[in-house]
C-alpha cells in the first residue's frame, strides 16, 4: 500500500464499532494470556467485556512498561508560540470564530519563555501553534527551531500538517518529532467539527504521518481527541494507523497521546463521555499491543489520575503547562487553547514521581549526541 488511506478505506466505522462491542469475556481472557496481541485482541481489551478485567489488564501493563522502560518517566513541556488560526474547529479555543486577542511570539519573547523552562530543568520541548500558514508557516517554525536548537536535546512540534519537503527542511533545522492527531477517524463527524480551513481536508490530515515517514522524521505522535466520537472506534483506528506506520516506516519511533475534550472558550460538550476507568483501560490496552510505544499523559488530566497512571503504562508526562502563547512569562493572561486540570508546579510533579519510585528523565541522550549543538 502506498499510504494509510488505502488500508483505512477497507474498514467501515459502524462495522468496526459493532465488532468491538461483540467481543466476549473468553476473547478478553485469551488476549490477557498472550505474549503478543494483535488488533483483534486489542479490540477485546478495549471492549465493554474487558471492564471486569481492568485489574489484570493494569497489572500486566505495569509489568510490561517496567520491563521495557524500567522505573523511568520522561518530562517534557509544551510552549505555545501563537494562537492565530485560519481554521474553524468546534472544540478549540483558538478557532477563528472565537473573538479573542491573537498573539504570535517574537524571537525575544520565545527566548524569554525558553529561559523559564530551562530553569525548571526541561530538555524536551513541544512547540505548539494554531494553524495559520501566513503568520506561523514553515519559515516561522523553522526560525523558532533554529533559535532554540542549542537549548534542547529534543524539539517536537504540534502545528498544521505540512508537505514532505517542508518536513525535510524542518528536520534539517533540528526537528526531532511531530505530533499530529486525526482528532476523529469518523469522516462525517470530522467534517462537522472542521467546517472551514485547511484542516477541513480529512484525507490530507490522514496522510500526514505518511509524509512524515517519507521525510525521515525520528518520531511520530498519534492520537484522537476523545469526546468527538465513540472512543473505542477512534482508538482502534489509531492502533491500526500505528501498526501500519511501524511496518512501513520501521526506522521511526512512535508515541500515542490520549487527549480528552476539555473546557475552552465557547466550549463543546463531549458527544461520547470517556470515564477515567475507560482511559485506564485504553492506556493499558495500548501497552499490551506494543511494549515499545511511548504513551504520553498531559496536564489535561487531574492530579489523582496522573498520580496513578504513571505506574500503569505512561512513559512521558508534562507539568506546569500553559496552553496560551507567552503563558509562562510573556503574557500569562492571554487566552488558553483549553483548560488544564493538573496545575501543580514542576517541582511538585517531580516529587510525586520520585515518591512513587520513578526516576525522572530530562534528556533524550541518544538524540542529543546525534545532532550538532
pLDDT single digits (tens) 120-164: 999 999 999 988 888 899 999 999 999 999 999 999 999 999 999
Confidence of residue 233 (pLDDT cuts 50, 70, 90): very high
β-bridge mates for residue 257, sequence order: 296
Q: Name residue, grid cell 523559564.
A: 116
Distance of CA 147 to the CA centre of its chain: 24
How confident is the model at residue 341, as a pLDDT? 78
| Contact between residue 86 and residue 133 where contact means Cβ atoms under 8 Å apart | yes
Report residue 108 as a C-alpha cell.
525575544
| pLDDT single digits (tens) 240-270 | 999 999 999 999 999 999 998 865 444 567 8
Nearest to 74 by CA among 285, 272, 274, 353: 353
Distance (Å, whole) CA 38 – CA 34: 10
**Predicted confidence (pLDDT) per residue in 46-72, tens digit:** 999 999 999 999 999 999 999 999 999
- For residue 201, give every residue at least 6 positions away whose Cβ sits within 8 Å of its Cβ, in sequence order, or none: none
DSSP 137: S
- Can you point out the beta strands (E) in the chain? 72-80, 124-128, 154-158, 177-179, 219-222, 253-257, 294-297, 316-318, 359-361
Side-chain half-sphere CA neighbours of 360 within 13 A: 22
318-367, pLDDT tens digit by residue? Answer: 999 888 888 899 876 544 444 667 889 999 999 999 999 999 999 865 44
| CA pair distance 124, 57, nearest whole angstrom | 30
What lies within 8 Å, CB to CB, of 247 at 6+ separation is none
**pTM for this model (two decimals):** 0.93
Amino acid at each position: 500500500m502506498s499510504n494509510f488511506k488505502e488500508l483505512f478505506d477497507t474498514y467501515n466505522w459502524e462495522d468496526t464499532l459493532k465488532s468491538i462491542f461483540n467481543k466476549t469475556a473468553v476473547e478478553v481472557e485469551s488476549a490477557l494470556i498472550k505474549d503478543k496481541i494483535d488488533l483483534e485482541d486489542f479490540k477485546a481489551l478495549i471492549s465493554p467485556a474487558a471492564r471486569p478485567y481492568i485489574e489484570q489488564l493494569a497489572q500486566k501493563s505495569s509489568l510490561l512498561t517496567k520491563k521495557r522502560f524500567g522505573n523511568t518517566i520522561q518530562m517534557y513541556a509544551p510552549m505555545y508560540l501563537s494562537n492565530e488560526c485560519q481554521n474553524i474547529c468546534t472544540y478549540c479555543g483558538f478557532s477563528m470564530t472565537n473573538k479573542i486577542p491573537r498573539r504570535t511570539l517574537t524571537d525575544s519573547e520565545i527566548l524569554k519563555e525558553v529561559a523559564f523552562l530551562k530553569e525548571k530543568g526541561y530538555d524536551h520541548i513541544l512547540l505548539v501553534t494554531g494553524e495559520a500558514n501566513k503568520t506561523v508557516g514553515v519559515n516561522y517554525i523553522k526560525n523558532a527551531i533554529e533559535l532554540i536548537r542549542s537549548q534542547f536535546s529534543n524539539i517536537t512540534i504540534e502545528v498544521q500538517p505540512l508537505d514532505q519537503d517542508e518536513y525535510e527542511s524542518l528536520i534539517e533545522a533540528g526537528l526531532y518529532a511531530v505530533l499530529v492527531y486525526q482528532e476523529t477517524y469518523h469522516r462525517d463527524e470530522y467534517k462537522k467539527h472542521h467546517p472551514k480551513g485547511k484542516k477541513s481536508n480529512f484525507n490530507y490530515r490522514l496522510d500526514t504521518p505518511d509524509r512524515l515517514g517519507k521525510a525521515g522524521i525520528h518520531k511520530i505522535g498519534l492520537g484522537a481527541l476523545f469526546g468527538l466520537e465513540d472512543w473505542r472506534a477512534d482508538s482502534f483506528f489509531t492502533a491500526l494507523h500505528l501498526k501500519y506506520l511501524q511496518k512501513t516506516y520501521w526506522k521511526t519511533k512512535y508515541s500515542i497521546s490520549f487527549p480528552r475534550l476539555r473546557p475552552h472558550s465557547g466550549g463543546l460538550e463531549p458527544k461520547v463521555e470517556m470515564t477515567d476507568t475507560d482511559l485506564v483501560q485504553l492506556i493499558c490496552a495500548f501497552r499490551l499491543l506494543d511494549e515499545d510505544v511511548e504513551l504520553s499523559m498531559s496536564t489535561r488530566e487531574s492530579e489523582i489520575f496522573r498520580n496513578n497512571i504513571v505506574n500503569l503504562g505512561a512513559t512521558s508526562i508534562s507539568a506546569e503547562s500553559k496552553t496560551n502563547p507567552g503563558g509562562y512569562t510573556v503574557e500569562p493572561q492571554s487566552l488558553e487553547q483549553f483548560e488544564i486540570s493538573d496545575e501543580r508546579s514542576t517541582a511538585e510533579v517531580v516529587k510525586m514521581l520520585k515518591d512513587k519510585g520513578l526516576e525522572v528523565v530530562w534528556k533524550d541522550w541518544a538524540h542529543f549526541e546525534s545532532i550538532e549543538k
